[in-house]
Amino acid sequence: MIKAVIFDLDGVLVTTDDLHFEAWKKLGAEIGIHNFTKEDNVRQRGIGRMESLEILLEKTDTVYSEEEKIALAEKKNNYYKASLESLSQKDVLPGALEFLAFLKEHSYPTALGSASKNAPLILEKTGLFDKIDAIACGLDVTRSKPDPQVFLVAADKLGVAYENCLVVEDSDAGIEAAKKGGMYALAVGAVKNNPDADFSADDLSTLDYSILNAD
C-alpha cells in the first residue's frame, strides 16, 4: 500500500536534466571530447557527479589523476550552476505542481530523493521547497543510485516504512535503487519502458493517480 511519494528531482520535477547535459558537453569540448551524445547523458541520469564524469571520460584515452578529476567535476558544476541562475517556476515539469497539490490534499507525505548536491538551491529557485515535506539529496548520502541509500534516507525522514513508499524516477539507476529499497517505482520520461518499474507515465501530467491505490 502506498502511503508516501519520493520524487527524483532532475528530469522528474524540474527540466534541469538538459542543463546537466549542456554543462557536461561544454566540459567535454574543452578536453577534446566532441562526440558526447544525449544517449551518453541518459546513462548519467540519477548517478552522482564523479560517477557521471567517468561516463564522459569513457570517450577519451587521456588518463586523469584523482585530483584532476575533482577539478574537472568542479568545473562542470560551475558551468551547471551558472545555467541555474535563470531557473524559476517556469522550469517545473508538466504535471508536477498538480500532482504535489493532489498528494497534499489527500494527506500523502512527500520527499525528495535526489543525487544532486544542488537540490536545495534548485528547489528554492523553482518554488518547490515549501511544497515537499522532506529532502534527501547528494549532501545526505555516501552511495550513489542504484544504491537505495538516498530513498531510504528520504523514507526515514518521513517516518514511513520503505514498503509503503512510491519512488518517481526518470533514470534506470533510480528504478533499480527504488526496487532494491523495497519500494514501488514509477518510471517517467526516457525510462518509462523500464521493465522493473511497477508503473509508468510519459510525464506527471498524464499520470493516472489511481496507481496510488495499488496493493
Catalytic residue among 8, 147, 170, 172: 8
Please report how close the Cβ of residue 119 comes to Mg ion at its closest, in angstroms.
11
* 8 classed as catalytic: yes
Q: Return d(Cα 21, Cα 42) in angstroms, integer.
A: 9
Q: Return d(Cα 105, Cα 175) in angstroms, integer.
A: 26
Locate 10 and state its grid cell: 532532475
Q: Return d(Cα 69, Cα 75) in angstroms, integer.
A: 10
Asked if residue 20 binds ligand BG6 (CB under 6 A), the reply is yes
Q: Return d(Cα 157, Cα 212) in angstroms, integer.
A: 21
Residue from the set 9, 111, 128, 177 that interacts with ligand BG6 by CB under 6 A = 9
* Residue closer to ligand BG6, measured from CB, 12 or 183: 12
Instruction: Tell me the per-residue interface mask from 108 to 137 with ligand BG6, x by CB under 6 A, - otherwise.
Output: ------xxxxx-------------------
Locate 15 and state its grid cell: 527540466
114 binds, among Mg ion, ligand BG6, none (CB under 5 to 8 A by kind): ligand BG6
Please report how close the Cβ of residue 157 comes to ligand BG6 at its closest, in angstroms.
18
Please report how close the Cβ of residue 1 comes to Mg ion at its closest, in angstroms.
26
145 binds, among ligand BG6, Mg ion, none (CB under 5 to 8 A by kind): none
Looking only at residues 22 through 51 of this chain, which bind Mg ion when binding is defined by CB under 5 A?
Answer: 45
* CB distance 110 to 157 below 8 Å: no
44 binds, among Mg ion, ligand BG6, none (CB under 5 to 8 A by kind): ligand BG6
Asked if residue 45 binds ligand BG6 (CB under 6 A), the reply is yes
* 215 classed as catalytic: no
Asked if residue 56 binds ligand BG6 (CB under 6 A), the reply is no
- Using the rule CB under 6 A, give the single segment among 39-47, 58-66, 85-93, 191-199 that binds ligand BG6: 39-47
Q: Return d(Cα 198, Cα 83) in angstroms, integer.
A: 34
- Residues in CB range of 172: below 8 A, 6 or more apart: 45, 46, 146, 191, 194
Instruction: Tell me the per-residue interface mask from 68 to 107 with ligand BG6, x by CB under 6 A, - otherwise.
Output: ---------x------------------------------
Q: Return residues touching ligand BG6 (CB under 6 A).
A: 9-10, 20, 44-49, 52, 77, 114-118, 138
Residues marked active site are found at 8, 10
